[in-house]
Structure 1
Amino acid sequence: MIKKIIALLLLCVYFKTAVAQKEPMKIAVAGLTHTHVHWVLQRASDGDFDLVGVAEPNKELAERFFKQYNLPLDILFEDIDSMLENTNPEAICAFNTIRGHLEVVEKAAPKGIHVMVEKPLAVNLDHARKMEALAKKHQIQLLTNYETTWYPTNHKIKEILAEEKETFGQIRKMVIHDGHPGPQEIGCNIEFLTWLTDPYYNGAGALTDFGCYGANLSTWLHPNEKPISVTAVTHQFKPHIYPLVDDEATIIVTYPNSQSIIQASWNWNYNRKDMEVYTEKGFLKANTRHELEIMKNEKDGSKEYMLEERAAPFNDPFSYMMAVIRNEAKMSKSDLSSLENNMTVMEILQAAMISAKEGRTVNLTEL
């Protein structure tokens, strides 16, 4: 009889735990001035997480977005401290200025609250190192989100390179193109445009805004290699629009056996996020999110494929973040979202800024 009672109690505990794990995660948002915030505001109605608080001092901006997404004003707070005090979230998504990312981690980490920032990780390498130290000290997850992290074409390239090593050989060159005609030209709202074009809040211009994508992907596809050096050239083709920052950047990242060329621009005449990977014997090109082109050898030519979205939780930053926090998905050190990957990204970006300013190649050992 006693054994049956114990068994029933254990069963009750199991089901209670299972139900608790399925409860929506309490997520808060720090800042609304990064317009990628629409991603989380749109997702808030899906029901897999509860948006419990938003910290945004710009009341006009907040009310505009809250009206657009039919959100209750009682979850709006003027600052991060008051939001945390009243909501106690399990995770915070940062959609403020890049310089503001450090403050979010400083506020959240000591409370054991996990953080995901919108790319890049930090405004400079010094901030990144402080964020890294806080995350490790307080044992929180610190993720960085990129749109291209969820592209099935990028993941298929990594999968093929791992499975068909003999067919393709080593990576010799990567060329990554990211950007658009310019933030003002595509109609970014003034709240976003103001800090995005200010080096104090964004670190640089196109170099950081779009250079981070290529640095992230290159680091991911070179999981066991650290860059040796970085050489970067920037331009201001539109100083009348962007007087404080670069609008064009080319970053060359040198590895022991390969080279990555990152072309980050606010001067493309269309929106693009694509990647070319050239190996010893062929190439793989992520032409779009879903369009993949592969050539195994020149004789047979290339073939094109149309890929479907990846399965959940690997198709969406918020699903993935929740899965990682709840130990339902394991994030490796080389993962696109990982702190380790994005610390290398920050080293590349920091070296690129120094290189462009001083007109020389920068060895990463200098940083």
Structure 2
Amino acid sequence: MEGKLRVAIIGVGQIAKVGHIPGFRKAGAEITAACDVSPESAKQVCETFGIPRAHTDWKEMLDTGGFDAVSICTPSVHHCTMAVESARRGYHVLVEKPMATSLEECDRMIGAAREHRVILMISHNQRFIPAHRKAREIISSGTLGAPLLVQTAFGHGGPEKWSPTGQWYFDPQQAKLGVMADLGYHKLDLVQWLLGQDITGVSAFMGTFQKDTPLEDTAAGILTFSGGAIGTIVASWAYAADWENSVTVRCANGVVMIPEHDPFTVVVRRDLPGGGKEEVTHRIVSEDSSGWFGSTGAFAEAVRKGLPSPVTGEEGKKVMAVLLGAYDSASTGKVHRLG
């Protein structure tokens, strides 16, 4: 495409304000419209960021046009309908995770994007965190040998602690699924991407300990992978006085560790031939602590240059299959097999 990329935002909550809007700005895109069910929120965000048009009806905004792409930052129950309707009107689509609430919805989104020849990207922003990208580079080089065990955790005190409108995460009518779909989804994608292996089995356990919701606020699981590795995952909104966003990959000849509070550091330890050990700390210079700059930037570049989606709908569906398998396992008490 020629000229500046124009983007419209659907849903102006905290993720839009701290992630998508600044990310598109940094990528050189122009945000021409924003929509929210709250007139006050839509107006405030448009005034704060200098966005020309505020809407409360997303379909009306789509019909009015004046943009090339849509960024969907709403509760997940709306993702499918909004993505499909956007694609039908010829808009490229970036949609927040989780991609949808069912595999059937994923198929509808993928089909609409394919039929109308638009880019559909799922916002797997943790792939773009600098430390994660460096870790993948190290693991895929093979210098540490085959990955054997991955351990990952993502936890904090709950969405209401960082988002003024975070209570919707506890509402089954809007979120449908709990912390495994919120935080665990990130890690289910990340570990597959880091290892270059698909998850083939999941055994999960879930509970609600602190939040006033029928949805789970804490989940843990054991994973098996197509390349023979195994792993563990923890996702929680019940971390008191703490938060964690960590991953450790133990390979045949060494270990790759990302400290729990540092998105710019990767620690590598390996055995040396003939005995002894070596530790190397990689520090990355970046301002993209959450990966949103990288995610929105990659989407913007793909639209401008006509490149493939940086994170396809098929990749999002693959994560959804594992996620739903985790809920099935927690419900039945059995291992859920995939593939």
Both structures adopt the same fold (TM-score exceeding 0.5): yes
Cα deviation code 1:125-161 (max 9, x no counterpart): 2322221222222222111113422211111111112
Asked if 1:221 corresponds to 2:197, the answer is no
CA RMSD of aligned residues (A): 2.4
Equivalent position of 2:163 in the other structure: 188
Equivalent position to 2:75, from 77, 97, 103: 97
**Aligned counterparts of 2:134 and 2:264: Cα–Cα separation in 1:** 10
| Deviant stretches of 4+, over 6 Å | none
Count of residue pairs the alignment pairs up? 329
What secondary structure, in the 3-state scheme, does the structure 2 residue paired with 1:218 have?
helix
**Aligned counterparts of 1:264 and 1:51: Cα–Cα separation in 2:** 33
Residues 1-367 of structure 1 aligned to structure 2 (within 5 Å): 21=2, 23-33=3-13, 35-38=14-17, 39-43=19-23, 48-72=28-52, 75-163=53-141, 165=142, 167-184=143-160, 186-189=161-164, 191-193=165-167, 195-223=168-196, 225-238=197-210, 241-256=211-226, 257-268=228-239, 269-287=241-259, 288-297=262-271, 299-309=276-286, 315-327=293-305, 331=309, 337-365=311-339
**Aligned counterparts of 1:218 and 1:362: Cα–Cα separation in 2:** 18
* CA positional deviation for 1:314: 9.8
Max radius of gyration: which structure? Answer: 1
Higher relative contact order structure (alpha carbons within 8 Å, sequence separation ≥ 6): 2
Letter in 2 for 1:319: G
Letter in 2 for 1:31: G
Cα deviation code 1:82-140 (max 9, x no counterpart): 11222242110001111111111121111221101112211232322221222222222
What secondary structure, in the 3-state scheme, does the structure 2 residue paired with 1:120 have?
coil
Letter in 1 for 2:236: S
Q: Given that residues 26 and 293 in structure 2 are in contact (C-alpha distance below 8 angstroms), is that contact kept between their aligned partners in structure 1?
A: no
Cα deviation code 1:227-261 (max 9, x no counterpart): 221111011111xx332211101122212401122
* CA positional deviation for 1:294: 0.3
TM-score (norm 1): 0.82
Alpha-carbon distance change, 49 to 232 in structure 1, aligned in 2, over 3 angstroms = same
Q: Given that residues 171 and 279 in structure 1 are in contact (C-alpha distance below 8 angstroms), is that contact kept between their aligned partners in structure 2?
A: yes
* CA positional deviation for 1:198: 1.8
TM-score (norm 2): 0.89
Letter in 2 for 1:148: Q
Percent same amino acid among aligned pairs?
20
Q: Given that residues 258 and 267 in structure 2 are in contact (C-alpha distance below 8 angstroms), is that contact kept between their aligned partners in structure 1?
A: yes
**Aligned counterparts of 1:310 and 1:192: Cα–Cα separation in 2:** 25
Q: Given that residues 42 and 55 in structure 2 are in contact (C-alpha distance below 8 angstroms), is that contact kept between their aligned partners in structure 1?
A: no
Q: Which runs of 5+ in 2 are unaligned?
A: none
Q: Given that residues 152 and 310 in structure 1 are in contact (C-alpha distance below 8 angstroms), is that contact kept between their aligned partners in structure 2?
A: no
Q: Which runs of 5+ in 1 are unaligned?
A: 1-19
Alpha-carbon distance change, 277 to 45 in structure 1, aligned in 2, over 3 angstroms = closer
Letter in 2 for 1:201: Q
